[in-house]
Amino acid sequence: MKIISYNVNGIRAALKKGLLDWISSADPDILCFQEIKANEDQFDIQLFKDLGYEYNYWFSAQKKGYSGVGILCKKKPVNIFYGTGINYMDFEGRNIRVDYNNVSVMSLYLPSGTNQDRLSYKFKYMDDFLEYINDLKKINKNLIICGDFNICHKAIDIHDPIRNANVSGFLPHERQWLTKFLSTGFVDSFRKFNSKSNNYSWWSYRADSRANNKGWRIDYVLVSENIESMLSDAFILPNAHHSDHCPVGIKVDF
């Protein structure tokens, strides 16, 4: 099974940049989207069905043109869960999950901390999300959490750790939270296979950041520890140019 996660920074814009051709070529079994920035009636879901994703699910923010997540599936899931049941989270359309008999796959879009108010919101979200996942693990032992965490975990995950030390996305509290999250029973799939620097998933649109590879690795596929032995690969796809992010993914054998 190939699972890919992609923050498309506006699905309508990404479609105009050749997203469908890329999906056809990449051919994942499950594709998780973040930051779709659209309601389901604002784009043609039949386009995805025509590619073999008969089962596609969308959870948009109440605010139009903002946030939102989705999941495309080739095989029909047993259950679909929209949101977390935590109102202030679900208002912004940041979580959607599909359950199969042997695994649950979630698309997550964690908030960014663009100012002090949003940073406080992000910290609250982080704490409540961890509690939610800890409860979910009691029911679903095999979890795969795909998405934009808006956090670089370690210095290796950011192009300039010194100058960005006080920037949201690389703050000590954020990094410590991700360490804590992983310690509860998750594996950073990419780092299982690749320990090298200069591997990023997001680049600013400013100052030719992408061309100069001045990026951040803030997109992850985290898997439950009991799935780790089933992983055969984890990867970043920097040649996909439909967004300021690029796709990340795994191959897993159930």
Start-to-end CA distance of the chain, whole Å, equals 8
Place of tokens 């799939």: 189
Active site members: 148
Name the token pair of 179. Answer: 């360490």
Q: How many residues does the chain have?
A: 254
Name the token pair of 147. Answer: 């998405």
- Angstrom CA distances, 100 to 73, 79, 131, 189, 218, stand at 11, 7, 22, 20, 26
Name the token pair of 199. Answer: 């591997």
State which amino acid sits at residue 97: R
